[in-house]
Structure 1
């Protein structure tokens, strides 16, 4: 009888415990804003000599058709070689960022 009472109490306790568990679902929303930089057209001679030296390491033999600069000093250059044009972005120091 004592075992029956303990078994019944255990079953009741487990059922309360099972019903007391709750699941919480959280939803997070991320928003990404992409803002295009504004570049101002400049003369190719206005690109710093340090930057030109670094740029020529990656694009030796290319000629500069157009040059632009952003407010943060980043350069956007249109380069050509053998009739092929490439638009490349460089930091103010002439470090390669990416081809656009």
Structure 2
């Protein structure tokens, strides 16, 4: 009888211990999307005159090969000098962003 009582107590104790050790796992997934701007080809005459003045100061002596504009007004210009082509990005105001 004593063994039966101890066995029952042990089973109850183990069941409380098992329920107290419930582990919850949570998985968080982070997704980064990098979307490049889409540029539309434009004529050089469509670039604002103010922007052209600033761009001309930075790239004097370069000729404009192709011009593109993004929806936010950013310009992508392909310039050349002495057979070397440079692709440069400018804001709508003509401020230099970077060369790519």
Scaled by the length of structure 1, the TM-score of the pair is: 0.69
Mapping 1:5-84, distance limit 5 Å: 31-84=31-84
Deviation at 1:33, TM superposition (A): 2.1
Q: Deviations over 1:51-99 (max 9, x none)?
A: 0001011101100000000000000000000000000000000000000
Q: Deviations over 1:6-39 (max 9, x none)?
A: xxxxxxxxxxxxxxxxxxxxx9875432111000
Gaps of 5+ in 2: 1-26
Query: How far apart, CA to CA, are the structure 2 residues paired with 1:88 and 1:95?
Result: 11
Q: Which residue of 2 aligns with 1:97?
A: 97
Query: How far apart, CA to CA, are the structure 2 residues paired with 1:59 and 1:48?
Result: 16
Q: State the superposition RMSD in angstroms.
A: 1.6
